[in-house]
Chains A and B, each alone.
Chain A
Amino acid sequence: MIFVIDDDEIMAECIAGAIGKNAKIFSNAIEAMNEISAGELPDMIFLDILLDGPDGFTLLNELISYDDTAKIPIVIVTSLDLGDKDLSVYGVKKVLLKDEMTPNDIKNCVSEYAK
């Protein structure tokens, strides 16, 4: 299963549409974390940074603090200019800009990073 965490419903559906059947959408970090705590470890996560409630960085910190979630591949999907920040310590494999990415970029990330 691949988690898509984005509070913009339409954008989340676009990303999920490119991923295919394995996508599960969450509109905030808490919902996603609850699902993980309940035992469903995703194969990878597409994560927005600016979210309602705890932001993407809060979730990233949470994920790397547990052994079982620390290695989940993360792809950040954002409108923010994150510059050259190295986010690999958080398990971030790639940063996709919402205003530049294409459905193929999402598909490529899935085939490259999903466990």
Chain B
Amino acid sequence: MDAEVDGILIAAHELKAPLAVLRQLALSFEGVGEKDERIRGEMVSVSERAIKQVNDLTKVRRLEDGLFTMEPVAVRPICDDVIKELSYLFRFNKRELFIKYSNRSQLVVANRELLRGVIYNFLLNAMHYSGAETRSELIVCDKSDHVRVSVRDYGPALPVDVWREMKRGFIEKPTSIAMRPGSSGLGLFIATRFSRYMNAEVGAVRHRDGTSFYVDLPKSRQASLF
């Protein structure tokens, strides 16, 4: 492990410790009223999201170690799992989440943990950038030899230079998305790194009223053996 990787892992640990304390403090409050309960819930939720991003960042640095094995995995349960985790957040922020599964192929070749990270970051991104009272869409469909998991938001348009970078399949570093305020681009950076590791293609479609981010995952041939 080189010095830079080592430094990032140490920094990640340093960041995680205070976030874990904040989360624990919020969980320690007992017997609070309804309004305070909402605040408490939000404190737990915000710290958990930040912890997750720190953990994902650590994973990005560990991809080089090849610790993540590829195997046939079912897409839908992973999507369901992420939706379940984020549904509170969508509700809390008054965002609607529309889900459509039209894929006949269930199994793709991926790493369960990394795929979960990609979908999580796409959805979090969509929730963050969709306007109030608008919806985000998670769509899973078949495309010839792969399965596409796509997340569409109705937020500001994706800057063309970021779109071009994504078209090349790679974002070199977290890039501030200028037209998407408050963004460091970290979630997108993590998602593209995870996707690249899984040999999955990642990309974005620009709409006049938002953006779709997608990952194309190779279908598993396992089912065809039966």
Contacts and interface: CB of A to CB of B under 8 A. Distances in A.
Interface stretch (A7-15, A28-36, A66-74, A87-95): A7-15
B24 interface: yes
Interface residues of B, number: 15
Contacts of B8: none
A8 B27 contact: no
Contacts of A15: 24
Contacts of A99: 16, 19-20, 23, 48, 51, 55
> Which range contains the number of A residues in contact with the other chain?
10 to 19
B25 A98 contact: no
B40 to A, nearest CB: 13
Interface of A: 8, 10-11, 14-15, 17-18, 50, 79-81, 98-99, 101-103
B149 to A, nearest CB: 26
Given A79-B13, A99-B19, A103-B28, 15 more contacts: A8-B17, A10-B21, A10-B24, A10-B25, A11-B20, A11-B21, A14-B21, A14-B24, A14-B27, A50-B13, A79-B16, A79-B20, A99-B51, A99-B55, A101-B24
A101 B17 CA distance: 13
